[in-house]
Structure 1
Amino acid sequence: MRTISHGISKIEKGISILLMFSMAIVVTLAVAFRYVLQSPLSWAGEISVFLLIWISFIGGSLGLKYKSQAAVTIVVEYIPENIKRMVMIVGHICMLLFLFILIYYSFTWILSPSVSYQKSTTLLVPMWIPYMAVPLGLTFAAVHLLSNLFDIFQKGESQ
């Protein structure tokens, strides 16, 4: 599971770099066209929002991979090691259950007829493309959480 999570994180890093670079270019062009050339780009705002959505979900998944989200850990730091391990396992299982529910409903949403026929206002891009960031990012996050959960089990066996 660790190798799958590591492979996905490599892909996510590449996608994140590409998306951040693209967003920087689009926003720079939008500012330049609006304030220097006095001719705003009509599509720049829409593209920026779509890129930000993708960056957020891919970045959130990477945050779970590297355990870098904000967390209140004061309680976990002061409990004994065996109880800490159980709390971590229960926490990961709860997060996985929540993610699986979100993944199910997000795929149901993406595959619904209302989304499949919907197009963006400026670019007329099918909306399932920007919306696909939700189930894809959540699926990657679930894989990373499963990998972290397996690591907790393996560390417990080796102690």
Structure 2
Amino acid sequence: MNTVSNGLAVVEKYLAIVLMIVMTAVMALAVLFRYFLNSPLSWAGEASVFLLTWISFIGGSLGLKYKAQASVTFLLDILSPKMRKTLLIIGYVLILIFMAVVLYYSYTWVFSSSTVSQKSNNLQIPMWIPFSAVPFGLSFAAVHILSHLSGLMRKEEGK
């Protein structure tokens, strides 16, 4: 599972880099056209919001991969190693349950007939494309959490 998580993280990093470069270029063009050419781009704001949404969900997934979230660990620090692992396992399982619920509803939402037929105002792209950031990001994050959980279980078995 760790190999899958690591491979997915590489793909996510490159995807995030490309999306950030594209968003930066779109915003720079928007400023150039609005203030220097006096001809604003109507689609730039919408494209930036869609790109930022994708970047946020991919970044959130990478944050889970590298355990980069802010956390208060004083309780974990005072517990015995066995209790610490038990608490971490419970935490990972709760995160996975939450993700499963949100994933179910996000896939239902993205593939609903109203979303599939809906188009964005300025870009005229199908709305399932920007909305897909939610299930994709959470699916990637679930893989990373499963990897952490399996690694924690292997440590426990190795003792």
Q: TM-score range by the shorter chain?
A: over 0.9
User: What stretches of structure 2 of length at least 5 have no aligned partner?
Assistant: none
Query: Runs of at least 4 residues of structure 1 off by over 4 A?
Result: none
* CA distance in 1 between partners of 2:29 and 2:73 (Å): 43
* CA distance in 2 between partners of 1:109 and 1:72 (Å): 34
Q: Give the drift of 1:134.
A: 0.5
TM normalised by structure 2 equals 0.97
* CA distance in 2 between partners of 1:135 and 1:87 (Å): 27
Q: Give the drift of 1:71.
A: 1.6
Corresponding residue SS for 2:47: helix
Structural RMSD (CA): 0.8
Identity among equivalent positions (%) equals 53
User: What stretches of structure 1 of length at least 5 have no aligned partner?
Assistant: none
Q: Give the drift of 1:157.
A: 2.1
How many residue pairs get aligned? The number is 159
Q: Which amino acid aligns with 2:142?
A: A
1:4-83 residue pairs with structure 2 within 5 A? 4-83=4-83
Q: Give the drift of 1:7.
A: 1.0
Corresponding residue SS for 1:121: coil
Q: Give the drift of 1:12.
A: 0.4
* CA distance in 2 between partners of 1:63 and 1:53 (Å): 15
Per-residue CA shift, 1:52-75, capped at 9, x if unaligned? 000000110011111101222121
* CA distance in 1 between partners of 2:115 and 2:103 (Å): 16
TM normalised by structure 1 equals 0.97
* CA distance in 2 between partners of 1:74 and 1:115 (Å): 44
Match of 1:101 in 2: 101
Q: Give the drift of 1:78.
A: 1.5
